[in-house]
Structure 1
Amino acid sequence: MFQMYWPIFLIVLSNIFYHICSKSTPAGIHPLAALTVTYAVGAIVSAVLYFVLNHGGNLIQEYHKLNWSSFVLGLAVVGLEAGSIYMYKAGWNISVGQLVHSSLLTVCLIIIGYFVYHEAVTIQKVVGILICMFGLYLINK
C-alpha cells in the first residue's frame, strides 16, 4: 500500500512548495532567469539522487537509452514553471490560479486519454467535466 501512495504524497508536497516558490519569486527578476537556477539545482539533485539510489550506476550509459520524451518533457517543464510564475505575477491568487489550470488540465487529459490512449469516458467522467466547468464559472464570477 505504501508503494502505491508515497508518490502521490510526494507530488502533493512538492506541488505545495512549487506554488509557494512560484508565487514568492521576486517581482524584479525575469522568470526565465530565475528558472536557470531552478534547473541547475534540479540537475544537481537529480544526479546526486541517481548515484545514491543506483550504486555503481553509469549516468552516461543511461543517457544512451533516452528517446524524444525527455527532451519534450524539458520543454514542457519550462512552460509549466514559467507559466506558473507569470500567472502569479499577473495577479492570480494561489488558491484560484492552480485550481483553474488544474481543472482545465483535467478536462484536456480526459479527452487526450480517450483519443490517444483509448481510455474509457464514463458518465462519471462526463459529470466530472461538467462539474469542473461549473466550478470554474463560479470561481471566476
Structure 2
Amino acid sequence: MNELTYYLPILLIVTANVFYNICTKSTPETVNPFLSLLVTYLVAALLTLILMLANGLEEGIVQSVKRLNWTSFALGISVVALEFGYITAYRAGWNISLGSLVANISLAILLIPIGILLYKEVLTTNHLVGIALCLVGLFFINR
C-alpha cells in the first residue's frame, strides 16, 4: 500500500469533519434538531443512492441487502446520536474549537481498551506517551 492510499482516507475524514462541525455549529437554534437531522439524512440518502448506482453493484440489490448485518442498523442509530450530541453540545455553549477536541480525545481514549480487548491491538511506549499527553491536555482544556 502506498502512502497516498494510506493517508487519503484520513484527509477525507478530517476535511469532512471540518465541514461537519461548521455546519453543526451553524445550525440555527430555532430549528428543531430532529428536523435538521431528517433533512441531513434525506440528502445523505440521495447522495449515497447516486454513488451506489454510479459505482454499480456486483449483484442485485436484494442479494446485497441480504448480506447486511446488525452493523448498518447500529451505525444508523449511532450516527443520529452523534449528530444530536454535537448539535446540543454547541447549543449548550461549547466552542467549535474545543467541543470537538474534547469529544474526539475522549473518544480516542475510550477506544483504547476496545482496540486492545476486541481487536488485539498493541500499544507501544510512544502510544502510551501520546495517551498521557492527551489526558494532560484534557485536564488543562477543562480547567
User: Normalized against structure 1, the TM-score is what?
Assistant: 0.93
**Match for residue 136 of structure 1?**
138
Residues 31, 85 of structure 1: 8 Å contact kept = yes
**Match for residue 95 of structure 2?**
93
Moved more, 119-128 or 49-58: 49-58
Q: Count matched residues.
A: 141
Larger RCO, structure (CA 8 Å, separation 6 or more):
2
Aligned residues with identical type, % of pairs: 45
Q: 1:54-69 alignment to 2 at 5 Å?
A: 54=56, 58-69=60-71
| Root-mean-square deviation over aligned CA pairs | 1.5
- Structure 1 residue runs of 5 or longer lacking an equivalent are none
- Structure 2 residue runs of 5 or longer lacking an equivalent are none
Cα distance between partner residues in 1 of 2:142 and 2:99: 10
Residues 51, 57 of structure 1: 8 Å contact kept = no
Cα distance between partner residues in 2 of 1:29 and 1:58: 39
Cα distance between partner residues in 2 of 1:55 and 1:78: 27
**Match for residue 107 of structure 2?**
105
Q: Secondary structure at the match of 1:116?
A: helix
Cα distance between partner residues in 2 of 1:109 and 1:21: 26
Cα distance between partner residues in 1 of 2:71 and 2:30: 33
